[in-house]
Structure 1
Amino acid sequence: MKVLVPVKRVIDYNVKVRVKADGSGVDLANVKMSMNPFDEIAVEEAIRLKEAGKAEEVIVVSIGVKQAQETLRTALAMGADRAILVIATDDVHQDIEPLAVAKILAKIIGDEQPGLVIAGKQAIDNDMNATGQMLSALLGWSQATFANDLDVEGDFATVSREVDGGLQTVKVKLPAIVTADLRLNEPRYASLPNIMKAKKKPLDEKTAEELGVDVTPRLQVVKTSEPETRSAGIIVKSVDELVAKLKEKGIV
């Protein structure tokens, strides 16, 4: 069974994001980029399935700018077998929207015929949380989102997923789409020998045009702004004073 994992190039989660002076978006100049953390968890889970003998090949796919090669090489260094880069734009500020991503992935899946797709539940740059669900709808495949545990046996996958108030266990028939949550696993660090080996692993390039998918944005960012500065707290001397202050603020 092949396992396909989509990965996205995003601003590193340790970087403090800066908004452009004109409010048109986020400043990406000289900013460290890395693999979306949820996608990194998905890659790790796919590699573990291969190590357990439940998968034969792990394929990683990235859609966006040519610089996403670096993200794919990171996934290959972790242990993925080969990579596919779909160049959909030359502008690093253009975010390829979930529907376009899902359509491109559906084309790739049609060619590769994987038995399982493991994706991050969302990207930390736009927090859409939509690609996995849209891909499931386009393919007509089963889906199990927000997975914090995954077990594959035969033609089925059992997924424990996080829901409001607890955990839910679902069993889906393969092929299926699974989206990874934060507690699914702890991704490994790529060793130096594996980083060197990754440079020789196959990385194919395609374009959105070749796949016949229109990536023209459907959404328009009207304005981007910094969050409001949090006001300083105050010290109260009694419960009565606390209640009075809360009433003044209209909280109670």
Structure 2
Amino acid sequence: MKVMVAVKRVVDFNVKVRCKADGSGVELANVKMAMNPFDEIAVEEAVRLKEAGIASEVVAVSLGAKPCEETLRTALAMGADRAILVESDSELQPLAVAKLLMAVVEREAPQLVLLGKQAIDDDANQTGQMLAALLGWPQGTFASRVELSEGQLKVTREIDGGLETLALALPAIVTADLRLNEPRYVKLPSIMAAKKKPLAVITPQDLGVDVAPRLKQLKVAEPAPRRAGGQVGSVAELVSKLKNEAKVF
């Protein structure tokens, strides 16, 4: 079984994100970048499936500018067999990403596609669902457990009311949640070995996909600073402040 994993290059989760002075976007100059944490979990799950003898090959795919190769090398160091970069300097919105991934899926013919449930830069939580709709494949989103038995994929997913278990026929799309696994620490020998693994570079034009933006971003602004808190002397004073100052009821 071939498994394909989509990974995205984002601002490292330890970095405090700042907006550009003109409000046109997020400041990326001289900012540390890394693999999206949820995508890292997806890569780990794919590698574990291979180590268990379930998957025969793990292919990592990323979309974006040339520096995304660094993210793919990280996936290769974690255990992916090869990587594909769909190189584009254009703004790639979720629908365009889903269309590009669909084209790659049609080329590679994987039986399972793993993605992070969302990217921490825009928190859109759309790509996996859009990809499943475009392909007409079953999907298991927010997965906290994945099992393959008797030709069926069992996905335990986190919902508001607790846990839900789905049985999916392959091929299928699964998006990884935080508690699916804990990604491994990549050691230096694995990093060195990843440099020798194949990494193919193609373009949206090679795939015949139009990536023109459908949405227009008007402005990006930081949230207003929170007001300082205060202490109250009694429940009556608290109720008064909630009613007269905060006006929550």
Normalising by structure 2, we get a TM-score of 0.98
Please list, as runs of the form range in 1=range in 2, the aligned pairs for 1:62-73 lying within 5 A after superposition: 62-73=62-73
- Please give the alpha-carbon distance, in whole angstroms, between the structure 2 residues aligned to 1:58 and 1:118: 10
- Please give the alpha-carbon distance, in whole angstroms, between the structure 2 residues aligned to 1:156 and 1:131: 23
Q: Which amino acid aligns with 1:149?
A: R
| Alignment-derived partner of residue 25 in structure 1 | 25
- 8 Å CA contact 1:59–1:81 kept in 2: the answer is yes
Q: Which amino acid aligns with 1:114?
A: P
- Please give the alpha-carbon distance, in whole angstroms, between the structure 1 residues aligned to 2:23 and 2:106: 40
- Please give the alpha-carbon distance, in whole angstroms, between the structure 2 residues aligned to 1:251 and 1:139: 45
| Alignment-derived partner of residue 93 in structure 2 | 97
| Alignment-derived partner of residue 149 in structure 1 | 145
| Alignment-derived partner of residue 57 in structure 1 | 57
Offset, 1:138: 1.1
Does residue 194 of the first structure (1) align with residue 190 of the second (2)? Answer: yes
Offset, 1:153: 1.8
Long gaps (5+) in structure 2 = none
Offset, 1:154: 3.6
**Counterpart selection for 2:248 from 237, 242, 251:** 251
Other structure's SS at 1:71 match: helix
Offset, 1:251: 1.5
Q: Which amino acid aligns with 1:195?
A: I
- Please give the alpha-carbon distance, in whole angstroms, between the structure 2 residues aligned to 1:238 and 1:127: 40
- 8 Å CA contact 1:88–1:215 kept in 2: the answer is no
| Alignment-derived partner of residue 180 in structure 2 | 184
Long gaps (5+) in structure 1 = none
- Please give the alpha-carbon distance, in whole angstroms, between the structure 1 residues aligned to 2:199 and 2:193: 13
**Counterpart selection for 1:122 from 118, 124, 129:** 118
Does residue 112 of the first structure (1) align with residue 112 of the second (2)? Answer: no
- Please give the alpha-carbon distance, in whole angstroms, between the structure 2 residues aligned to 1:147 and 1:104: 23
**Counterpart selection for 1:159 from 139, 155, 177:** 155
Does residue 242 of the first structure (1) align with residue 224 of the second (2)? Answer: no
- Please give the alpha-carbon distance, in whole angstroms, between the structure 1 residues aligned to 2:139 and 2:210: 25
- 8 Å CA contact 1:103–1:138 kept in 2: the answer is yes
| Alignment-derived partner of residue 10 in structure 1 | 10
Normalising by structure 1, we get a TM-score of 0.97
- Please give the alpha-carbon distance, in whole angstroms, between the structure 2 residues aligned to 1:118 and 1:154: 20
Offset, 1:203: 0.2
Map Cα deviations across residues 92-138 of structure 1 (whole Å, 9 max, x no partner).
xx3x1111111111111111111100110111111111111111111
Between 96-105 and 193-202, the greater mean CA deviation after superposition: 96-105
- 8 Å CA contact 1:76–1:83 kept in 2: the answer is yes
Q: Which amino acid aligns with 1:139?
A: L
Offset, 1:25: 0.7
Corresponding residue pairs, total: 248
